């Protein structure tokens, strides 16, 4: 599995390792909760979307209906704003090497997807990529940026990203354009990759629901970047618990 492409500074690696030592990622993964998706239920909609997008990604394809399905799952407010071709190509698996995806920078994929679509912000763009290649990629969303990025000083717990959120009264969101996008997306993927590698090397098993293993989307017990992202989403959600806020999916 590709573990990130952007070298992380030494001070950040030390910070991430300390965080990993202090948090139970397996427990956080089982605490993930979004709409119908929870661990006891087997994350049914996540499983459905991964199967749908990952199979097409092996042919370097993303389809409009899949983009819409991801946006609906994310509770995107304005589905009618989304415009893209019925089918578009992205270099998930260069030269058809399905065993070695993502030879390039994840930020390049995010840029190419944005250029091919209209109406999508960083969260939904990253979600489409996450469902297409879940072993190597994960989503970035408003809750996570509020806690590990910039823009919400009252909620920030870690200083991992330069990416910023805004709230002009309608709810928190990740605005475009901003200087840290899409470069910070690559940094985020390297952070997820760092945690995945550390957990796997330490022998901490990821408690995947069985459908992800039998569906050939995961290797039993082995952390993927998307798994780490789900654990960190749980942590961010718990950190924000009790705060009155509205988060956009864009």
pLDDT of residue 99: 66
pLDDT of residue 30: 98
- Spatial distance between the Cα atoms of 190 and 175, rounded to a whole number of angstroms: 22
pLDDT of residue 247: 46
How does strand 61-63 pair with strand 87-89?
Answer: antiparallel
In a domain, 248, yes or no: no
pLDDT of residue 163: 98
Which residue in this structure is represented by tokens 């948090």?
A: 23
How many domains does one find in the chain?
1
Reading the block at residue 104, the tokens are 């390039």
In a domain, 199, yes or no: yes
In 3D space, the residue among 6, 1, 29, 63 whose CA is nearest the CA of residue 189 turns out to be: 6
DSSP state of 77: S
In a domain, 1, yes or no: no
pLDDT of residue 95: 74
Domain that includes residue 233, residue range = 10-240
In a domain, 117, yes or no: yes
In a domain, 246, yes or no: no
Q: Which residues of 199-214 are buried (b: 16+ CB within 10 A; e: fewer)?
A: bbeeeeebebbebbee
Q: Which residues of 99-134 are buried (b: 16+ CB within 10 A; e: fewer)?
A: eebbeebbbbbbebbbebbebbbbbbbbbbbbbbbb
pLDDT of residue 242: 54
Burial (0-12, 13-18, 19+ Cβ within 10 Å), 86: exposed
- Spatial distance between the Cα atoms of 133 and 130, rounded to a whole number of angstroms: 5
In a domain, 2, yes or no: no
pLDDT of residue 98: 66
In a domain, 45, yes or no: yes
pLDDT of residue 96: 65
In a domain, 247, yes or no: no
pLDDT tens string for the chain (250 positions)? 344 556 899 999 999 999 999 999 999 999 999 999 999 999 999 999 999 999 999 999 999 999 999 999 999 988 999 999 999 999 998 876 766 688 778 999 999 999 999 999 999 999 999 999 999 999 999 999 999 999 999 999 999 999 999 998 889 999 999 999 999 999 999 999 999 999 999 999 999 999 999 999 999 999 999 999 999 999 999 999 855 444 444 4
pLDDT of residue 22: 98
Nearby residues of 191 by Cβ (< 8 Å), 6 or more positions away: 4, 8, 12, 16, 160
What is the DSSP annotation of 146-206?
HHHSBS-TTT--------B-B-SSS-BB--SS-TTTTHHHHHHHHHHHHHHHHHHHTT--B
């Amino acid at each position: 599995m590709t573990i990130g492409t952007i070298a992380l500074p030494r001070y950040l690696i030390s910070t991430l390792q300390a965080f990993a030592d202090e948090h139970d990622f397996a427990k956080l993964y089982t605490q993930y909760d979004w709409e119908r998706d929870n661990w006891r239920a087997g994350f049914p909609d996540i499983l459905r979307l991964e199967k749908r997008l990952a199979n097409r990604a092996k042919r370097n394809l993303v389809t409009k209906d899949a983009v819409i399905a991801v946006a609906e799952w994310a509770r995107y407010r304005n589905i009618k704003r989304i415009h893209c071709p019925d089918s578009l190509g992205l270099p998930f698996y260069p030269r058809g090497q399905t065993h070695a995806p993502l030879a390039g920078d994840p930020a390049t994929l995010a840029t190419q997807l944005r250029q091919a679509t209209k109406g999508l912000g960083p969260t939904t763009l990253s979600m489409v990529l996450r469902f297409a290649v879940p072993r190597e990629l994960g989503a970035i969303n408003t809750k996570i940026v509020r806690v590990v990025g910039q823009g919400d000083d009252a909620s920030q717990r870690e200083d991992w990203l330069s990416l910023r959120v805004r709230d002009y009264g309608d709810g928190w969101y990740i605005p475009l354009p901003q200087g840290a996008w899409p470069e910070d997306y690559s940094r985020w993927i390297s952070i997820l990759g760092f945690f995945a590698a550390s957990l796997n090397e330490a022998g901490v098993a990821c408690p995947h629901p069985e459908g992800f293993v039998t569906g050939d989307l995961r290797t039993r017990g082995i952390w993927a970047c998307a798994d780490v992202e789900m654990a960190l989403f749980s942590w961010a959600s718990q950190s924000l618990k009790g705060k009155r806020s509205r988060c956009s999916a864009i």
